[in-house]
Amino acid sequence: MNLVGKHIVVTGGGTGVGAETAQTLADAGASVTIMGRSEAPLQVQNLPYQLCDVTDAHAVAEAFDAARTDHGPINVVVANAGAADSVPFSKMTPDQMQNMLSVNLIGVSNVWQAALHDMKAAGSGRLIAIASTAGLKGYPYVSAYCAAKHGVVGLTRALSLELASNGITVNAICPGFIETPMLDRSVANIVEKTGMSEKKARTSLYASNPQKRLIQTDEVAGTALWLCSDAARSVNGHALSLSGGEI
């Protein structure tokens, strides 16, 4: 899958899925710009980067303009930046709900809009969101996260129809629990709140996966690579589940 000549932006590109995806796409020949809020993890990836908080539309526009100036029009955006907070709905504050919507849903909208002019001008493009199985089903204690990821799937399905005639495809990748630093924080939170052992807490997260394992970052990166390729040019409006058959 040759991506030579393509300029791809990956948000949340400093760690975990974002870092793996960015490197996979770069290895396929793409010019990749990674974006994130913290400079230190971006610096170690050995890829061009821009500092950017995806919840700030003005900052997103500036970061995309800088990336465009350095590496040309943007052909693909992988909207990966996200966060997950766990709290019972009865105790959730309006700010907690807003924060989850801002980074996980509004952030996707902001970065997709920032590249849309380039793609329309080219008559082709790929908009990809790293969503979650939480966009396809519910999970307890993460209601705000589920609401945001369901929103991403809805946005994906709507835009796939709106932009199809422009040669742009829009898809969401929906992994189950992925072995990343964010999952480590979730495990630590379960241990703290329940007294469960770390091993049991980790096992509980993938108990519903028929393969009884965590999803790996290279699986998500490989799916993104395929969606960027010509082989996936008719794949549009899908929420692709990477969950071992859970959903």
**Residues forming beta bridges with residue 77, ordered by sequence position:** 9, 127
Rg of the chain (C-alpha set): 17
Half-sphere exposure of 91 (CA within 13 A, CB side): 7
Report the Cα–Cα distance between both ends of the chain, in Å, rounded. 28
> Is 49 an active-site residue?
no
Of 49, 141, 145, 206, which residue is the catalytic one? 145
> Which distant-in-sequence residues (6+ apart) come within 8 Å of 79 by Cβ?
11, 54, 107, 108, 111, 112, 127, 128, 129, 130
Q: Which of 152, 128, 130, 111 is nearest to 229 (CA)?
A: 128
With beta carbons less than 8 A apart as the criterion, state whether 65 and 43 touch. no
Indicate which residues carry an active-site annotation. 145
